[in-house]
Amino acid sequence: DVKVTQSSRYLVKRTGEKVFLECVQDMDHENMFWYRQDPGLGLRLIYFSYDVKMKEKGDIPEGYSVSREKKERFSLILESASTNQTSMYLCASITRQGKSYEQYFGPGTRLTVT
Amino acid sequence: AQSVAQPEDQVNVAEGNPLTVKCTYSVSGNPYLFWYVQYPNRGLQFLLKYITGDNLVKGSYGFEAEFNKSQTSFHLKKPSALVSDSALYFCAVRDGRGSTLGRLYFGRGTQLTVWP
């Protein structure tokens, strides 16, 4: 089974702090994604990566950056956390090989910025 | 541009009754369509997908979905709902035109409540 893990289930940070959210997948997937989920808005794509050291902006990249130094790990960074970044953050991965097509999701990190 | 609409924020159904969660989509080219389910404070779990072939696809937990190209719809169905089906359901679409990025476009979600 594909496994996508996220470093924290719940996180509380203060405004202005630098925040790191880590995501690791164990199935050698090439592509990885970071979403945020807010009630009534569904999932919105923040950033994605299709290879080590490669990144592409999604729909809402402002206030975020990402890092992919190893194939299995994709980090989301909040440079200076703000209260409007309080949200559920979901990581996902997908392989470019074969015919599976579906993304596999981690359990999510619920971040509260106070 | 790719997009998905889930017209109902909430669907309520009695246990044992059939359920339908609606989804319509807009995509360039042939669509790849997906349904995911999310239980409280959990990540998304894959339920089923339509890529090509039979318009009726079967997935996990007794769910099925019908692809209707003329109506650009992909409604999720189950013949007999269970209380344990209560969760948040997301429809998603991917452009099938050979893109290898695998990007999905999600609807806003439909909260399904099955009452005993």
B55: pLDDT confidence band, cut at 50, 70 and 90? very high
Q: How many residues make up chain A in this entry?
A: 114
Q: How far apart are CA A74 and CA A67, in angstroms?
A: 6
A58, pLDDT greater than 80: yes
User: Residue A42: which of B42, B94, B107 has the nearest Cβ?
Assistant: B107
Check if the beta carbon of residue B105 is closer than 8 Å to that of residue B49: no
- Find the closest chain B residue to A30 by CA distance: B101
Least CB-CB distance to A102: which of B9, B46, B103?
B46
* Secondary structure (3-state) at A3: coil
Residue to substitute from B4, B6, B52, B101, interface A, most A β-carbons within 10 A: B101
Mean pLDDT for chain B? 92
Q: What is the dihedral of CA A43, B19, B112, A34, to 10 degrees?
A: -20
Residue of A41, A103, A107 with shortest CB distance to B104: A103
Chain B contact for A77 (CB, 8 A cutoff): no
Q: What is the pLDDT of residue B43?
A: 87
Tell me the pLDDT band of B97, cut-offs 50, 70 and 90: low
Q: In what helix (H) or strand (E) does residue B59 lie, and over which residues does it extend?
A: none
Residue A103 CA: distances (Å) to CA of A45, A47, B7? 13, 15, 23
Asked if A44 and A36 count as a contact pair (C-beta separation under 8 A), the reply is: yes
pLDDT, mean of residues A75-100: 91
| Residue A24 main-chain phi, psi, to 5 deg | -130, 135
Q: Which position has the higher pLDDT, B102 or B43?
A: B43
pLDDT of residue B96: 63
- Its sign, for the CA torsion A14, A37, B104, A59, is negative
- Which residue type is seen at B16? G
Of A19 and B31, the one with more pLDDT: A19
CA distance B108 to chain A (A): 4
**Chain B CB within 8 Å of residue A1 CB:** no
Mapping DSSP onto H, E and C, the string for A55-81 reads CEECCCCCCEEEEEEECCEEEEEECCC
Cα B21 to Cα B11: distance, rounded to the nearest angstrom: 7
pLDDT at A78: 97
Q: Which residues 43-62 of A are in CB contact (within 8 Å) with B?
A: 43, 45, 48, 50, 56
Query: What pLDDT band is residue A1 in, cutting at 50, 70 and 90?
Result: low
Q: How confident is the model at residue A97 (pLDDT cuts 50, 70, 90)?
A: confident
Q: Is B46 on the interface with A (CB under 8 A)?
A: yes
Of A31, A42, A92, the CB nearest to B109: A42
Task: Spell out the residues 6+ positions from residue A65 whose beta carbon is closer than 8 angstroms to its own.
Answer: A47, A76, A77, A79
